[in-house]
Amino acid sequence: MLQLITMILVNFTNGIDVPFFQPIDRASTDDSLSFVTRATTDGADIFEAISAALSITTGAYWAGVTRLPRNAQQITVLAMWEDDHFCDCFHYDLEHTPCEIVTQSQQLCHYVNVQEDFPEDEALIQMGVKEYAGQVYRDFQGNVLGHLFMLNKKPCSNFVHVEQIMQQLVAFLEVEIRMQSSNIA
């Protein structure tokens, strides 16, 4: 899967060696959607494609997609891109995390002082996370299924750009989930 994403990334950047932790200067919402569409057309997992696209087009060091079981205190990371590779899936407790706020508020949340705002989230402190943004995605009935998130070691310079890309990727994911649900039914 990483080879497929890397191949698409090379084509996406016209062969230019782009550091994964730097946003692609020309990246736009159209670029992120084009990246995901190409990746999934070529057989990539939708969650992995969205994670990689979010990181690569915004310059986030980490980006991922989660699944939130109803009334759960734990969340599952379905896909996570870190710097230049995918991480293994994992579960974590929601309590005292920015993800808890996102899933409760059900809107886009952005924090630039993560370690100060969430001092009990030891994982984010150990990772050196300074910035967090997250937004929920929903099923066709409006139920929250999980969220997209991005983490950075330093705040980004243009959050409006990040916000636009996140909103487009959430909309894309929701449409994909609806299409998959209708194919199953």
The string of pLDDT tens digits covering residues 9-55 is: 444 444 433 333 334 444 555 677 676 777 666 777 889 999 998 99
63, two tokens? 């980006």
pLDDT at 116 over 70: yes
The DSSP letter of residue 89 is P
The conformational region for residue 4 under phi > 0 = left, psi -120 to 50 = alpha, else beta, is alpha
Contact by Cβ (8 Å): 159, 135: no
Q: Is CATH 3.80.30.20 what the domain over 2-184 is classified as, yes or no?
A: no
User: What's the pLDDT at 128?
Assistant: 96
Contact by Cβ (8 Å): 151, 132: yes
The domain spans of the chain are: 2-184
Average pLDDT over residues 107-136: 95
pLDDT, greater one: 80 or 2: 80
pTM given for the model? 0.81
Q: Taking the alpha carbons of 90, 175, 100, 115 in that order, is the dihedral positive or negative?
A: positive
